Structure 1
Amino acid sequence: MTFRVDCHVKVLNDRVVERAKRAGLDAIVYAPHFTRLPEIRERAADYTDDELLVIPAREVFTGSWRQRRHVLAIGLEDPVPDYIPLETAMAEFDRQGAAVLVPHPTFANVSFEEADLKAHAETIDAVEIFNPKHFRLHNRRARTLAESLSLPPFTSSYAHLPRTVGVAHTAFEAAIEREEELVTAIRDGIARRVVYDNGLDQLTTMVSELAHLVYENTWKKVDRLFLSGTEPTHPTHIAYDGRFDDVSVY
């Protein structure tokens, strides 16, 4: 039995679901930016059907904008905000028994470096060794790091655009029907294959996704930081009941 999962997508609509099914996926992991877990869970449930499981997750932005570390957590019960120290986030993931995945390691200033991977190796369950947004050098470096630290691999489309969904996926050798079973498979290091195309199609995907990344980190960042008020995932937001007020980096 093989269970094919695109382990990290940022968008979810009818086009995304249709594309995922055409790609032969059994599930996608939906983790949009700056969106609270209850909303993610509700939207994931709305798009789940007998052919495709949509699994809710959070990519938490730890630290400040200048020293960000992104961490993907699957299986959270209690919401975890952005803009808290990496150590606080990792401790919270561990407390909740979530599957902890490291997306795009060593990429720009938003990712785990080698020292971070070593420091949190006991909590990390998998490292992304291929991201279609990256150059081959970055992907080779990620694979080398995962292998050197004996951390299990995964891949994803990291899709911010619907057309990117399914261009890479992780195929687990397990029968998985629910979110909890995927969390167990990841945490237990169940055998899996990373599946991707490293040819011309990947280059086209990289160009379009990087163009979108530039947009996200210019006007959208300015809007988020200065114009939109308190983010729903800010640690001082009322939704977190003051639990993270004393560790907020902003």
Structure 2
Amino acid sequence: MTRPRTRVDAHVKVLDDEVVARAKARGIDALVYAPHFTRLPTVRERAARYSDDELTVVPGREVFTGDWGNRRHLLVIGLSEPVPDYITFEGAMAEFERQDAAVLVPHPGFATISLTRPEVDAHAERIDAVETYNTKLLPHQNARARRTAEATDCAGFGSSYAHLPATVGEAWTAFEDDLDEAEAIVDAFRERRPRKVIHRGGAGHRIRGLIEFAHLGYENTWAKLDRMFLSGNEPTLPSNVAYEGRFDDVSVYD
């Protein structure tokens, strides 16, 4: 008898009919959907729309803490209320703890956007998992991430980190339980249940990863930042009226 297992691609940025079909074809049971600069209610609505009996879509937020030049990304699932980007790290962590959300560290040590090994170590008790395999990253970067998780005694997780539909299902986190609802998947991360981090192999896998890595350029351009602040009302800025001033005291921008 086959043991129940739930395969979670634990971080994707895209979600549509093509993404859902690809995930199912690759045997993925759940996706964590966490697009950039998108408020939680919108993420939830899309996650619910694309969830069905074969695939659970878990709404998440990759929150940018700190300012643009010194930001630290945190992947958060199980939020009950929206949390904006560009607030202090401590302000974000306090809010996540208040909401009893699961806090995951994506792409540790990568560029200037991720928690470093000393930062992960300093906050290990407040972190529920560290990404140890990310399809977008190069082999030496994933090896460094695994060393960070091992040295800090943090649970690991894996994801495709798909910004492009073709990458969905290239890597996943396999839990040993049958988790058929978003809340159960959040609990599995929060409770640090046993899991394996698995990824596809071969030339096709590496090519998809390299294409994703090349796509990274636009994701980190100043043009994106300029557009955000020129509008002055980006959905995930703390100054957006939707947050009703709740995060003004921890905002990193006036």
Under a length normalisation based on structure 1, what TM-score does the superposition of the two structures give? 0.96
Indicate whether 1:181 and 2:150 are aligned.
Answer: no
The structure 2 residue matched to 1:111, chosen from 107, 110, 114, is: 114
1:166 correspondence with 2:173: no
CA-to-aligned-CA distance 1:103-129 (integer Å, 9 cap, x gap)? 000000000001210121111000000
Aligned to 1:201: 204
Residue of structure 2 aligned with 1:41, choices 44, 52, 73:
44
Which residue number in structure 2 is paired with residue 217 of structure 1? 220
- Provide Cα deviations, 1:129-178, integer angstroms capped at 9, x if missing partner: 01111111111111011011110000000000000100000110012121
Quote the Cα distance in structure 2 between the aligned partners of 1:44 and 1:220.
Answer: 28
Matches within 5 A, 1:221-236: 221-236=224-239
Deviates more, 1:215-224 or 1:182-191: 215-224
Q: Which amino acid aligns with 1:194?
A: V
Deviation of residue 222 (structure 1)?
4.7
Q: Distance in 2 between matches of 1:220 and 1:74?
A: 28
Aligned pairs for 1:140-155 (under 5 A) are 140-155=143-158
* More displaced 10-residue stretch of structure 1: 28-37 or 112-121: 112-121
Q: Distance in 2 between matches of 1:150 and 1:192?
A: 14
Q: How far apart, in 2, do the equivalents of 1:189 and 1:217 lie?
A: 31
Q: Does 1:68 align with 2:71?
A: yes
Determine if the alignment matches structure 1 residue 53 to structure 2 residue 67. no
What secondary structure does 2:196 align onto? strand
Q: Which amino acid aligns with 1:203?
A: R
Once residues 39 and 207 of structure 1 are traced to their aligned partners in structure 2, the CA distance between those partners, rounded to angstroms, is: 30
**8 Å contact from structure 2 (residues 167, 209) kept in 1:** no
**Cα deviation, residue 226, structure 1:** 4.5
Shift of 1:211: 2.0
**Distance in 2 between the 1:142 and 1:222 partners?**
27
Among 5, 14, 17, the alignment partner of 1:2 is 5
Counterpart of 2:215, as a letter, is H
* 8 Å Cα contact 2:40/2:60 also seen in 1: yes
Instruction: Give the unaligned 5+ runs of structure 2.
Output: none
Which of the residues 226, 238, 242 maps onto 2:241? 238
State how many pairs are aligned.
250
The answer to whether the 8 A contact 2:129-2:157 is kept is yes
Deviations 1:61-88 (CA, angstroms, capped at 9, x unpaired): 0001110100000000011100001111
**In 2: Cα distance, 1:91 partner to 1:219 partner:** 29
Query: 210-219 or 176-185: which moved more?
Result: 210-219
CA distance in 1, matches of 2:117, 2:66: 17
User: How big is the alpha-carbon RMSD for the aligned residues of Structure 1 and Structure 2?
Assistant: 1.3
